[in-house]
Amino acid sequence: MKKAVRIQQFIAFLSIALFLGKILAWYLTNSVTVLTDALEGIVNVVAGFLGLFSLNLAAKPRDPNHPYGHGKAEFLSAAVEGTMITIAGCAIIYEAVLHLIHPEPLDKLDIGLLIVAVTGGINFIVGKIAAKQGEKTNSMILVSAGNHLVTDAYSAIAIIIGLTLLLLTKNKYLWLDSAVALCFALIIVRTGYKVIRRSISGIMDETDMKRLNEVIAVLQSNRLPQWVDIHHLRVLNHSGRMHVDAHLTIPRYYKISDADAEIKKIDALIKKHYGSEVEVFIQIEGCLPTQCHLCAVENCPVRSHDFAGQQEWELQNIWKESRHGKVAVV
């Protein structure tokens, strides 16, 4: 988390420098395309410091009022950032249409090109680093910030192409400036939508299917005979901290100390694959006679039916609340 905060600090202060550079480029060129890039830079500045605040808040330890921590602050921050990005895109569309109707001459396009190219290159490098670190630490803010910066860099390519054409044609086709700005705006609106969509999924605790399937595969490949059944599996990710909940069915004659030992085995197994920043909550259930045909425990003293084969744990059955094998085998 500390590394994520340092990266976000760098992004926040870097966004100020890049914004000032874009404003200078717009002042020199009078290009609506460069202006749209500068307007989007305002979003970067606000989002950078908002993200920094949210990361610091999310890093706070759990307390009585927030027993699951403060991780969802990241999703709220991302929702605000996505909304701002979308609003900026709509504002750019308005400006581009206005300049398309009333075009204005451009100036000093060569200097503007240089500034846009430099800011675009910096955004691409920093964005890739931030997004990679965000995926590694499961930080919604870093992923959003990184993708946003990379999108800026791709948009800069479109701006450079448009300004180069205007420079080569000596402002003969002024409509190109507005046309490029419109394309740029559509990319921004799409980016804003994706950020909002992902933040809402986090707030609503939408399942991370990739991580859920990974956990299922880990449990299945390391399965022990006494783990008769696992069901009601839930996997949540908040600010780099993963929460795993499940119901574990074990032989009903096990003592409390035996059950505790099985819980510790699963806890160690999950943390071996995902690190110590994982909370594992296991509810123990004693097996039913109707589950005997799924139980691989040898010499079971209470077996009612012969062992027929284990139920393979997969997405279709392990997330359900009901335990497997409740129907008796005749």
- Predicted confidence (pLDDT) per residue in 99-115, tens digit: 778 776 677 778 888 88
DSSP string, 127-162: HHHHHHHHHHHT-HHHHHHHHHHHHHHHHHHHHHHH
- Residue 279's closest CA among 320, 246, 245, 249? 245
- Residue 77's closest CA among 8, 17, 10? 8
Can you name the residues that pair with 278 across neighbouring β-strands? Answer: 242
Q: Distance (Å, rounded) from C-alpha 323 to C-alpha 310?
A: 13
Which residue ranges of the chain lie beneath pLDDT 70? 1-2, 58-59, 62, 66-71, 104-105, 138, 140, 171, 204-206, 238-240, 326-330
Domain spanning 2-203: CATH superfamily: Cation efflux protein transmembrane domain (1.20.1510.10)
Please list, in sequence order, all residues whose beta carbon lies within 8 angstroms of the beta carbon of residue 18, skipping any fewer than 6 positions away: 41, 44, 119, 122, 123
Which pLDDT belongs to residue 233? Answer: 92
Q: 209-318: what fold?
A: Alpha-Beta Plaits (3.30.70)
- What is the domain partition of the chain in residue ranges? 2-203, 209-318
Q: How many CA atoms lie within 13 A of 270 on its CB side?
A: 25
Which pLDDT belongs to residue 148? Answer: 75
Which pLDDT belongs to residue 69? Answer: 66
Count of H helices and E strands in the chain? Answer: 9, 3
